[in-house]
Amino acid sequence: MKPIQLIAFDVDGTLVEHPEKLVVWQLMNRRYLGSLEVSDQRYRDFMAGKFDYERWVDLDVSDWMSRGATRAEMAEEVKALELIGGAHETLAVLKERGYKLAVISGTLDLVIEEFFPEHPFEEIFTNKLHFDEAGKLVGAKATNYDMEGKAHALEELAQRFSLSLEECAFVGDHANDVAVAQAAGFSVAFNPKTPRLEEVADHVIRADSLAPVAELFPGSHLCPRKE
Ligand SMILES: [Mg+2]
Q: How far is the CA of 155 from the centre of ligand 1 (A)?
A: 19
Q: How far is the CA of 66 from the centre of ligand 1 (A)?
A: 28
Q: How far is the CA of 10 from the centre of ligand 1 (A)?
A: 5
Model pLDDT, residue 147: 80
Q: How far is the CA of 133 from the centre of ligand 1 (A)?
A: 31
Q: Are 118 and 95 in contact (CB under 8 A)?
A: no
Residues facing 102 on adjacent strands: 8, 123
Model pLDDT, residue 173: 96
Q: Are 28 and 121 in contact (CB under 8 A)?
A: no
Q: Are 135 and 70 in contact (CB under 8 A)?
A: yes
Give the tens place of pLDDT for each residue, 141-158. 999 888 888 999 999 999
CA 56 – CA 58 distance, rounded (Å): 5
User: What's the predicted TM-score (pTM) here?
Assistant: 0.93
Question: Tens-of-pLDDT digits for all 227 residues of the chain?
Answer: 789 999 999 999 999 999 998 999 999 999 999 999 999 999 999 999 999 999 999 999 999 999 999 999 999 999 999 999 999 999 999 999 999 999 999 999 999 999 999 999 999 999 999 999 999 999 999 998 888 889 999 999 999 999 999 999 999 999 999 999 999 999 999 999 999 999 999 999 999 999 999 999 998 777 787 66
Model pLDDT, residue 2: 82
Q: How far is the CA of 49 from the centre of ligand 1 (A)?
A: 21
Q: How far is the CA of 159 from the centre of ligand 1 (A)?
A: 24
Tell me the CA distances in angstroms from 140 to 67, 127, 132, 161, one per residue in order. 15, 7, 12, 27
Q: How far is the CA of 12 from the centre of ligand 1 (A)?
A: 4
Q: How far is the CA of 180 from the centre of ligand 1 (A)?
A: 12
Q: How far is the CA of 174 from the centre of ligand 1 (A)?
A: 5
Q: How far is the CA of 226 from the centre of ligand 1 (A)?
A: 22
Q: How far is the CA of 162 from the centre of ligand 1 (A)?
A: 27
Q: How far is the CA of 34 from the centre of ligand 1 (A)?
A: 24
Beta strands in 71-198 (DSSP E): 82-83, 100-108, 123-131, 137-141, 168-172, 186-190
Query: What are the residues whose beta carbons fall under 8 Å from the beta carbon of 203, sequence distance 6 or more?
Result: 186, 187, 188, 189, 216, 224, 225, 226, 227
Enumerate the H helices of 19-162 as residue ranges. 24-33, 37-47, 53-66, 71-78, 87-96, 109-115, 149-160
Model pLDDT, residue 227: 67
